[in-house]
Amino acid sequence: DGAVFGQNVQVVDPDVRAYVYSLVTALGGFNGEDADRYVLGDDALACLRDIKRWLKLYDEKNNRMDVARCLGESNLVNGDLIPILTLWGSSEKASRHMSRVALACLELLVPMTWPLEIHKEMTVNHARHMPYLQQVQVQYKKGLLSNASAGLLRTIIRIGLPSMAMPRSERTNRDEGILKLMLYLLRNVIIITPDTRLVAEGEEEETSRSRTINAFQEQDAFALLLTMCSNVGDDFSLQDVVLLEILFHIVKGINVEKLFMDDEQRSSKRTNELHDLLRQESSLRREYTKNAPTRHGRFGTMIWVKRDDAKVSTVSGQDVLKDGQATMQKMDQTKKWNKPLQRRRITEVTVNDDFTSPVSISSTALKNLRKFVEEFLDTGFNPLLTHVRKAIEREADRVVSINSRQYFYIVAWFLEVERARRDCQRKKHAKEGKRSKDIQPDSFGLVASVLNQETFVFLNRAMQYALDNKDWEDLTAEMRCFTQILLTVQEMALSPLEEDQEIAENIQSRIFYEETTHDRILSIIRGFKDQGFGYLDACTELAHVFLRMLERYSKMNTDMQVRSRRKARRKAKEDQLAGENEIVHASEDEDQEDTERVSRERKFDFTRFSARFCNQKCVDTFVAFTRNYKELDTQQLKRAHRYFYRIAFKQEMTVLLFRVDIINLFYRMIKGPGALEPSQPIFRDWEELVKQIIRRMVKKMEQRPALVTEMLFSKINATVFYLEYGHERQTISGI
């Protein structure tokens, strides 16, 4: 009958809609004679409570989103709640009644701004309303942030102040509830971001991270956070997890390096960046013009490629005339078939994932954030993080599973900040020409709470757990945390304070003492298989830092001991041989003996340990990392370079790199098309490395013709040694 399908479908029950709308209308409005003044309805407080009841008893109970949608459509937040809060905020002496109204507004705002996530138990109803609600939440955020003169965040904080001022012992449940509401609202405001898949009408700027950070600074939300964080142990103990969440969402994805540049450096870096980008672009264009046709598109060139057995292939286009490489490239490119990709499992991305993709913020926001971050390090870092760790370990009720990931991310991020800050100070002192004697060196006390044995135990356990359960996002955060701890300790060892050196030495010996840690790093790096770039970046960085520090440490402590835990099998066998008549007994005890582990100390041998990183799986992980070479920065390229250098020239296992796809990758990196930028300093290093590897390969192929076939495959352990050295491994045990 011509009607568009679904046009007349009522998405919400009309009765529900009518009820909700009438409540919103009864709440109040702008009066006719004094048009810019919001006038509260007679029964406003009751209306607000009714709306809350609707949300609770209809939406929550039936697991629907209908009321939330109606509230969004009737513009409750921007049309009523925000004007009411402004009204309350601007009045000098707030009456008891108005305070209650304000609190009721806050009670509505929190559920309406609660982050919406796609999850497994979604119903059709959820799927229908969610896009609308996501978009309307962005409007809420815009409304909450844009009333800068009124300072809505400040008003909201004011609601919580009386409860905050009370000592903890005197606070009632209601007071704790108010504090919770206030903090959750701040958290929700940060989390809401315009969905890139939906149409945004110029709201990206007004609801961006920069705008949020600036509003937090201007309206003293940062001051509130600092006060609460620094008093976490004493006055605020139930709020620790929410505070952690807020911090996580403020800082996730922000580049620490940029935070610690002054304006001059930043602008010069920015011009440098622009310069670099322009140069990159021009080199791209140059590469294109080199191969571009010099005649019009219909000039019609066609060439033959002569091949074996009097066969020929034809390739068309003028660009193929240039050289043989271009021709081969074109022959390959024109093929239509692609190897089908492995289907990736569909993952639900939530607000807590994806903390590895970078976010850029404006320079004012950077300045504000830096100020906050530094003050947080000085006052709130130790109390908050100690408290949170204890809460997570104790499995307190308020803790959810996501919190440990946030904890590790925050630790990693702030340790990096602390190092950047020290670096910044050092440069400043050097610039001012002070002698190092005059400077009072800071101790690492400000971050001491995450450098103790308890944290290491916690971290180790969490890493093992994430590894066993294949929880890659968690593991990524934990790996980054471990890397930052290692780097901090390394810096600590170089500190002029003797005390710091001693502590660093102590920590290092404890970290490197456990052999299980070494084994875990190894199995992480071996276990890479399409976990995404964030994971790849984190695990290669960890392996790089860990190996280098362990190398240095074991060199300084020549008789380093590790505690190794091995299965007690061998011992059991010896026992069996000793008393053959007890065979029956032994087999009975075997199960028990199997699970029993002996732990004993043995001497640590770095060369043996690093040799364990020389296998095809580790190489494949680093190759997968290097495949992204066009997007990698200098540090990352260096990391890959050092690893391959170690493989080829320290461990003498170049054979592992002799595979056609690896050689192909290396060749493309240097000679193109799509090569590294030759003006980069790292390019020289890579060119030299690749050259040396190819030289060795050519030599090997002449020595051992069998390599021609082996070039196609990953090598078998049994043949690697022969290919490298030309004879079988001599084993003493055989004689």
Partner 1 sequence: KGSGLGLGLDEEVKVSKKRQPVAKLDESRLLSQNGIPKLRRAAKAKLRFKGKGHEFSDAARLLNFYQLWLDDLFPRAKFADGLSIIEKLGHSRRLQTMRREWIDEEKPKSSMDTFEDS
Contacts with partner 1 by CB under 8 A lie at 307-308, 313, 324-325, 328, 331-333, 335, 337-339, 659-661, 663-664, 666-667, 670-671, 690-691, 694-695, 697-699, 701-702, 704-706, 708-714, 716, 718-719, 722-723, 727-728
Q: Which CB, 181 or 723, lies closer to partner 1?
A: 723
Task: For residue 706, give both structure tokens.
Answer: 């069998």
Task: For residue 466, give both structure tokens.
Answer: 């994430």
Angle at Cα 215 formed by Cα 212 and Cα 217, nearest 5°?
A: 110
Which element (helix H / strand E) includes 566?
strand 561-567
Please state the closest distance from residue 702 (CB atom) to partner 1, in A: 7
Please state the closest distance from residue 404 (CB atom) to partner 1, in A: 37
Q: In 80-165, where does DSSP find H-type helix? A: 82-90, 96-113, 124-146, 152-165
Please state the closest distance from residue 318 (CB atom) to partner 1, in A: 20
Amino acid code (one letter) for 258: K
Please state the closest distance from residue 330 (CB atom) to partner 1, in A: 12
| Size of the chain, expressed as the number of residues it contains | 735
Q: Which CB, 339 or 437, lies closer to partner 1?
A: 339
Please state the closest distance from residue 622 (CB atom) to partner 1, in A: 16
Going from the C-alpha of 62 to that of each of 15, 18, 20, 58, 179, the distances in angstroms are 16, 18, 16, 6, 28
Strands (E), 284-387: 302-306, 312-316
Q: Which CB, 572 or 670, lies closer to partner 1?
A: 670
Q: Which CB, 331 or 568, lies closer to partner 1?
A: 331
Q: Which CB, 260 or 658, lies closer to partner 1?
A: 658
Distance CA 695, CA 714 (A): 20
- Residue 561 C-alpha from the chain's centroid: 34
Task: For residue 349, give both structure tokens.
Answer: 């991305």
Please state the closest distance from residue 286 (CB atom) to partner 1, in A: 19
Q: Which CB, 322 or 398, lies closer to partner 1?
A: 322
Q: Which CB, 289 or 731, lies closer to partner 1?
A: 731
Tell me how crowded residue 275 is: count the other CB atoms within 10 A of its CB.
11
Please state the closest distance from residue 658 (CB atom) to partner 1, in A: 10
Please state the closest distance from residue 328 (CB atom) to partner 1, in A: 5
Please state the closest distance from residue 293 (CB atom) to partner 1, in A: 23
106 neighbors 185 (Cβ within 8 angstroms): yes
Q: In 358-452, where does DSSP find H-type helix? A: 363-375, 381-394, 402-432
Q: Which CB, 9 or 712, lies closer to partner 1?
A: 712
Task: For residue 710, give both structure tokens.
Answer: 């082996």
Q: Which CB, 287 or 393, lies closer to partner 1?
A: 287
237 neighbors 387 (Cβ within 8 angstroms): yes
Q: How many CA atoms lie within 13 A of 203 on its CB side?
A: 22
106 neighbors 156 (Cβ within 8 angstroms): yes
Please state the closest distance from residue 679 (CB atom) to partner 1, in A: 19
Q: In 292-348, where does DSSP find H-type helix? A: 324-333
Amino acid code (one letter) for 433: G
Q: Which CB, 148 or 716, lies closer to partner 1?
A: 716
Distance CA 280, CA 113 (A): 43
Give me the phi and psi of 632, to 5 degrees please. Answer: -80, 150
